[in-house]
Structure 1
Amino acid sequence: MAELPEEFNCTITNWEYIYGLCRDVADEVRRDEFEPEVVVALARGGWFAGRCLCDFLGLDDLTSLKMEHYVGTAQKTGEPTVRYPMPEGSVEGKDVLVIDDIADTGGSISRAEAYVEQRDAGEVRTATLQLLDTSEFEPDYVGERLAEWAWVVYPWNFIEDMVDLLSGVMEKADQESYTADELRHYLAEYHDVKRIEMEIAQPNRLPEVLAEMERRGVIEGAGPGEYRLAE
């Protein structure tokens, strides 16, 4: 099981920006005169995009396919496999658009395309909101191409990713306790998450994340306004 490096850049996004990428993908599909009859959204990252594309393209047939690949922000498995298959007959004889949030290696969406084609679908095309230059797979439609690798924190998994990121920086910095400002400092040092970037994308949410980490037993109070990793 491969691990990400201790220090890597992150980009934090918001709903408005991602909604705009959904619109861009839909515009590409219309310009190409492709008229899918069903959207297959890869769980979990493709759900928001899948629903938006149905709205933009006037579709009411949406199904989901779960691929097992990533495990949080710290680990990823090898080849993606199908964990939760689609309902029987959900794409049979239909033209399909497969959508995911991002292609990193491209393994997940490539495997999903092959899986859908094997279910007797009509024409199958693929789309991602974002495409990293590390991807070996080229989707038919792309909202945005990213030249430099970064871990993208989406609004639908903001707390999930921030719990992982903050836990990681606390382990790496190896202090006895941390204030919120110190945690912001380490997020910038290790992951290039600047305070202003985070506050523009997800304003006033660090206290919420810290409270949730405490509720989950990830961290505990270490004095007024200070936190440490729970033992």
Structure 2
Amino acid sequence: MSELPDDFKCTITNWEYIYSLCRDVSGEVRRDAFEPDVVVALARGGWFAGRCLCDFLGLDDLTSLKMEHYVGTAAKSGEPTVRYPMPEGSVEGKDVLIIDDIADTGGSIERAHEYVTDRDAGEVRTATLQLLQTSEFEPDYIGERLEDWTWVVYPWNFIEDMVDLIAGVMEKADAETFTADDVRYYLNEYHQIERIEMEIAQPNRLPEVLTEMERRDVVERAASGEWTLAE
């Protein structure tokens, strides 16, 4: 989690809320009278949104572009690059809507716009479900603007992010073993994740995450109902 303070804020979301943002973005597209032929979803965060936009806009042409920027929860890896190119001819001569879940610096979606445009696409427009005020790139369509910087935990990568976050707070906390209540305390202490927020967004999932961390050898049982970081 380099380049960020130890106590960066996190926000946990659920499927219903994200689905509503997909609906909002599609509404903007329709009001703008833009009729894309194909949706390009940036992998992995844009996949759910891309499929929803196809449904809302009546499209059946959906493709994916894998951009590499984040290597873990809130850990950046420099300039975004194309990892897996799109199939040949997938956007040629077509009007394109590029969708991602969030724009932080805006680098990924800006690079995707350049990449798609260079492949002889027609009109290319961009959209994000959420836009952080730190972004230097302004997409054409935005579901929600976030004025305060936060790491957004999406429902499709809840376990992935929570494994990283919990391991991180265990490393920073002045303790050897942790109960589930201890984990909740430190998530709030370091990342402002309140218990009620997590239970509303992702109810009863902390035991699942801790079990998965044990399976991945990130933590190990210290006693009944207690965990410690694995050696």
TM interval, shorter chain, is over 0.9
> Counterpart of 2:86?
86
Deviations 1:87-112 (A, max 9, x none): 00000000000000000000000000
Q: CA RMSD in A?
A: 0.9
> Counterpart of 1:211?
211
> Counterpart of 2:177?
177
Tell me how far apart the structure 1 counterparts of residues 157 and 186 of structure 2 sit (CA, whole Å).
Answer: 20
> Counterpart of 2:47?
47
1:18 paired with 2:18, answer yes
> Counterpart of 2:190?
190
Q: What is the count of residue pairs matched by the alignment?
A: 231
TM-score, structure 2 normalization: 0.99
Matches within 5 A, 1:61-140: 61-140=61-140
Tell me how far apart the structure 2 counterparts of residues 46 and 104 of structure 1 sit (CA, whole Å).
Answer: 14
1:2 CA drift (Å): 4.7
* SS state at 2:134 partner: coil
Deviations 1:35-68 (A, max 9, x none): 0000000000000000000000000000000001
Tell me how far apart the structure 2 counterparts of residues 4 and 58 of structure 1 sit (CA, whole Å).
Answer: 40
* SS state at 2:100 partner: strand
TM-score, structure 1 normalization: 0.99
The structure 1 segments of at least 4 consecutive aligned residues displaced by more than 4 Å after TM superposition are: none
1:4 paired with 2:4, answer yes
1:72 CA drift (Å): 1.1
Which residues of structure 1 form unaligned runs of 5+? none
Which residues of structure 2 form unaligned runs of 5+? none
1:4 CA drift (Å): 2.2
Are the equivalent residues in 1 in contact too, given 2:40–2:65 (CA < 8 A)? yes
Are the equivalent residues in 2 in contact too, given 1:74–1:164 (CA < 8 A)? no
1:223 paired with 2:214, answer no
Tell me how far apart the structure 2 counterparts of residues 110 and 155 of structure 1 sit (CA, whole Å).
Answer: 25
Which deviates more from structure 2 when the two are superposed, residues 70-79 or residues 207-216?
A: 70-79
1:174 CA drift (Å): 3.5
What letter is aligned with 1:66?
Answer: K
Tell me how far apart the structure 1 counterparts of residues 166 and 108 of structure 2 sit (CA, whole Å).
Answer: 27
What letter is aligned with 1:178?
Answer: F
Matches within 5 A, 1:136-155: 136-155=136-155
1:6 CA drift (Å): 1.3
Which deviates more from structure 2 when the two are superposed, residues 163-172 or residues 4-13?
A: 4-13
What letter is aligned with 1:215?
Answer: R
What letter is aligned with 2:201?
Answer: A
1:224 CA drift (Å): 1.0
1:157 paired with 2:166, answer no
What letter is aligned with 1:151?
Answer: W
1:3 CA drift (Å): 2.8
Which deviates more from structure 2 when the two are superposed, residues 167-176 or residues 17-26?
A: 167-176
